[in-house]
């Protein structure tokens, strides 16, 4: 009798194939069936924010630079709302597919692996982030908050923070035992980034140590790049932000794969 290894080693390079794209297609099909319900939040939230904060509150705000407040927050919103969308997709969305609909079980019964599923889910989260970037770009342009045609490059670049937030959120999802446990992640990680990543006020207003902490928050790097693009002032330093996000995405993607194997391959 030959004896094999007790179980598939969890720490090994992701076994991903083009079937990850099939998972993405499945999510796209569902989205195309229910987009009417899915369009409201990504569209209405930024719109209200632009009106309430950009125009309403904006009149009372004096910025250190010559800029209207709506112009100041627009690039930040391009980062902040898609962050919510991507994290929500691999948060509540993936959890629901995994636990309630057992969609992951159905998929891994085919030639697809759990690694393909994880990859497809994250690719879809990034796609959703880009879709919401389109809405916000249109809204921001309508509010006169876009100064440069370079702003159009936010769209392809937004895929990267989409992957990043999708990966980070899926890591948490892979460990969550119930839907309510997902709330911790959103309350403790996503919401603080929404308010404290330089979206609504320049981080330079805050004490030095807070700025140091802010450097470690993923959203800050997306905000910095978008500010440059929307204002037409791209710097070499933005490459550093891109590199930062690539590294973080890679790390959390691998953790998500290992954690999902641990949870589902039993």
**Which positions lie near other proteins, rule CB under 8 A?**
1-8, 17-19, 22, 25-26, 29-30, 33-34, 101-103, 105-113, 265-266
CB of 26 to other proteins, least distance (A): 5
By beta-carbon proximity to other proteins, the closer residue of 24 and 244 is 24
By beta-carbon proximity to other proteins, the closer residue of 118 and 203 is 118
By beta-carbon proximity to other proteins, the closer residue of 19 and 80 is 19
CB of 258 to other proteins, least distance (A): 15
CB of 15 to other proteins, least distance (A): 9
Question: What gap in Å lies between CA 87 and CA 186, rounded to an integer?
Answer: 8
Question: What gap in Å lies between CA 136 and CA 157, rounded to an integer?
Answer: 14
By beta-carbon proximity to other proteins, the closer residue of 30 and 51 is 30
CB of 100 to other proteins, least distance (A): 9
Question: What gap in Å lies between CA 140 and CA 147, rounded to an integer?
Answer: 10
By beta-carbon proximity to other proteins, the closer residue of 45 and 116 is 116
The sign of the torsion formed by the CA atoms of 170, 174, 179, 180 equals: negative
CA-CA-CA-CA torsion for 74, 75, 77, 80, nearest 10 degrees? -170
| Cβ neighbours of residue 117 closer than 8 Å, sequence gap 6 or more | 20, 23, 104, 107, 108, 260
CB of 97 to other proteins, least distance (A): 9
By beta-carbon proximity to other proteins, the closer residue of 107 and 176 is 107
Do the Cβ atoms of 75 and 223 come closer than 8 Å? yes
| CA neighbor of 168 nearest in space, from 237, 230, 84 | 84
CB of 114 to other proteins, least distance (A): 9
In the DSSP assignment, the letter for residue 200 is: S
């Amino acid at each position: 009798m030959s004896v094999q290894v007790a179980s598939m080693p969890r720490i090994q390079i992701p076994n991903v194939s083009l079937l990850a794209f099939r998972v993405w297609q499945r999510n796209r099909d569902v989205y195309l069936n229910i987009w009417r319900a899915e369009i409201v939040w990504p569209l209405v939230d930024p719109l209200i924010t632009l009106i309430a904060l950009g125009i309403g509150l904006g009149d009372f705000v004096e910025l250190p630079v010559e800029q209207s407040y709506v112009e100041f927050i627009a690039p930040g919103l391009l980062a902040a709302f898609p962050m919510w969308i991507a994290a929500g997709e691999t948060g509540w969305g993936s959890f629901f597919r995994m636990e309630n609909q057992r969609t992951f079980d159905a998929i891994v019964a085919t030639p697809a692996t759990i690694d393909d599923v994880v990859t497809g889910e994250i690719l879809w989260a990034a796609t959703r982030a880009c879709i919401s970037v389109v809405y916000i770009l249109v809204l921001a342009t309508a509010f006169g908050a876009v100064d440069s045609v370079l702003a159009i490059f936010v769209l392809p670049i937004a895929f990267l923070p989409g992957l990043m937030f999708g990966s980070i959120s899926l890591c948490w999802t892979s460990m969550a035992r119930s839907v309510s446990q997902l709330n911790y992640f959103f309350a403790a990680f996503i919401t603080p980034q929404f308010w404290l990543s330089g979206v609504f006020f320049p981080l330079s207003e805050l004490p030095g140590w807070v700025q140091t902490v802010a450097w470690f928050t993923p959203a800050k790097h997306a905000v910095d790049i978008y500010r440059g693009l929307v204002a037409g002032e791209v710097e070499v330093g933005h490459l550093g932000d891109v590199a930062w996000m690539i590294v973080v995405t890679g790390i959390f993607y691998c953790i998500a794969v290992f954690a999902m194997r641990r949870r589902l391959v039993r």
